[in-house]
A and B are shown apart, each in its own frame.
Chain A
Amino acid sequence: MTPESFAFIAGVVKSRSGLVLTSDKGYMLETRLGPLLKRDGLASLDALALKLRDPRSSALADAVTEALTTNESSFFRDGKPFDHLRQALPVLARARAPGSLLRIWSAACSTGQEAYSIAMLVQELNLEGRRVEIIGTDIADSVVARAREGYFTQFEVQRGMPARLLVKHFRQESGRWRVSPELRAMARFERGTLLGDLRGFGRFDVIFCRNVLIYFDAPTKTRVLNALAAQLLPDGVLYLGGAETVLGLTDRLAPLAGERGAYGRPREAALAG
């Protein structure tokens, strides 16, 4: 692949997803885009880059972006945020009026493991009559559709999930495992990009946005963090991935004392509302 082809494909992917492909990612392009080349009868990544230059190739550009941004996912991935949420959610619930709705956002939800993990956790908490709505968004259509259906392979349900929760919350359907109707009713999935206007998603008590920022350059990280902060309620919690931080990127979010990966709006901002 020529450097020009790489730069063009990287440009297409960045404008659609914010994902920054550094020049050492040539191998990743070959492995992730191989099936797409075969599907469209393209001989090489150079041929793909040429075809992407055609303005009528927006469906192909979507497919390329999807293939490069889909992550391997597991249930309860990196247990710490879930341990924290188990403590934080009852506190947030008590701060809300009885009967109110707590909103939790799984931004970059992929195939839904994170959203359904949150739903399983919520089912084990006593929120004293407060209800919970979970919203999962992802830029890739195909994964959003999968998340909504709630089917997982035998391999997927064994990643990160205790057997006790598998038998409690899943049903077996011809070799696959499907999330129970009760959990599916708690979660809603839609296509959405973190680079667009986030105000339409509404305000949230809790936002999970893990292992997404690592793919963005610093100005994009700042823009996304500020937009997330604006959607977070003053006492809400934002969870980032283990390798991600707000430090040096924004002052509208600050690490919660003694917690790794959990962030909130600084107190001044909270008082100002």
Chain B
Amino acid sequence: MTGESPATCLVVDDSRTVRKAARRILEKLGFTVAEAGDGAEALTACRSSMPQVVLLDWNMPVMDGLEFLRAARAEFGPDHPIVVLCTTEAAMEKIVEALGAGAQEYVMKPFDEGILRDKFVQVGLLRDEAA
């Protein structure tokens, strides 16, 4: 980690299995992890305690990932929280849409530890390890 105290990551996904898999990897990478099952829960969580980064699924009931992203950018501004999409949506135009709406990074599922680590390096929350 780049900071002294562990950064908090809010994992937002309607699949409990995906949340568990992401939590296992993120905790190994040194993050403190919180979970939310949809965009509305995630917004509530951000209002009560702002995480450094949100790992965000796209397709979810109640409020989807892009709706959350637009609401979060309107309410909290462009830089906080850092948003990394993490979704089965893998079309070029979806990635462009998410980056245009203010996401910092984009993960196409399935993901593994290597991919998550690289993406969190790119958003500046992890140090690049020498090869």
Considering the chains assembled together, what is the distance between the CA atoms of A242 and B106 in angstroms?
28
Digitize A184-220: 1 where CB-to-B-CB distance is under 8 Å, 0 elsewhere. Answer: 0000000000000000000000000011000000000
In the complex, the chain A residue whose C-beta lies closest to that of B105 is A163
The answer on a CB contact under 8 Å between B92 and A162 is: no
Query: B131: which of A162, A166, A172, A210 is its contact (CB, 8 Å)?
Result: A210
B contact residues, total (Cβ < 8 Å): 22
The answer on a CB contact under 8 Å between B119 and A158 is: yes
The answer on a CB contact under 8 Å between A77 and B108 is: no
Digitize A164-185: 1 where CB-to-B-CB distance is under 8 Å, 0 elsewhere. Answer: 1011000110000000000000
The answer on a CB contact under 8 Å between A78 and B128 is: yes
The answer on a CB contact under 8 Å between A163 and B95 is: yes
In the complex, the chain B residue whose C-beta lies closest to that of A77 is B131
Considering the chains assembled together, what is the distance between the CA atoms of A161 and B105 in angstroms?
10
Supposing A159-B114, A159-B115 touch, asked if A167 and B108 sit within 8 A by C-beta, the answer is no
Complex contacts, A158 vs chain B, CB 8 Å: 107-108, 111, 115, 118-119
Q: Is the interface of A mostly helix, strand, loop or mixed?
A: loop
The answer on a CB contact under 8 Å between A242 and B131 is: yes
The answer on a CB contact under 8 Å between A167 and B131 is: no
In the complex, the chain B residue whose C-beta lies closest to that of A175 is B90
Digitize B94-131: 1 where CB-to-A-CB distance is under 8 Å, 0 elsewhere. Answer: 01100100010111100100110011011000001111
- Tell me, rounded to whole Å, the shortest Cβ–Cβ distance linking A48 to chain B: 31
In the complex, the chain A residue whose C-beta lies closest to that of B103 is A163
The answer on a CB contact under 8 Å between B118 and A74 is: yes
Supposing A74-B118, A172-B92 touch, asked if A163 and B106 sit within 8 A by C-beta, the answer is yes
Is B91 in the interface zone, CB < 8 Å from A? yes
Q: Is the interface of B mostly helix, strand, loop or mixed?
A: mixed
- Tell me, rounded to whole Å, the shortest Cβ–Cβ distance linking B83 to chain A: 11
Is A86 in the interface zone, CB < 8 Å from B? no
A contact residues, total (Cβ < 8 Å): 24
Is A155 in the interface zone, CB < 8 Å from B? yes
The answer on a CB contact under 8 Å between A167 and B96 is: yes
The answer on a CB contact under 8 Å between B130 and A80 is: yes
Within 8 A of B (CB), among A74-88: 74, 77-80
Within 8 A of B (CB), among A52-87: 74, 77-80
Is A154 in the interface zone, CB < 8 Å from B? yes
The answer on a CB contact under 8 Å between A211 and B115 is: no
Complex contacts, B131 vs chain A, CB 8 Å: 77-78, 210-211, 241-242
- Tell me, rounded to whole Å, the shortest Cβ–Cβ distance linking A11 to chain B: 28
Is A34 in the interface zone, CB < 8 Å from B? no
Query: B108: which of A154, A164, A211 is its contact (CB, 8 Å)?
Result: A154
Digitize B67-109: 1 where CB-to-A-CB distance is under 8 Å, 0 elsewhere. Answer: 0000000000000000000000011100110010001011110
- Which residue numbers of B lie inside 8 Å of A, CB to CB? 90-92, 95-96, 99, 103, 105-108, 111, 114-115, 118-119, 121-122, 128-131
Across the A-B interface, the 10 shortest Cβ-Cβ residue pairs: A242-B130, A78-B131, A163-B106, A158-B115, A79-B128, A172-B92, A162-B122, A77-B131, A78-B130, A167-B96
List 15 additional A-B contacts (Cβ < 8 Å) besides A162-B122, A167-B92, A211-B131: A74-B114, A77-B131, A79-B128, A154-B90, A154-B108, A155-B115, A158-B107, A158-B108, A158-B111, A159-B114, A163-B103, A167-B95, A167-B96, A171-B92, A210-B131
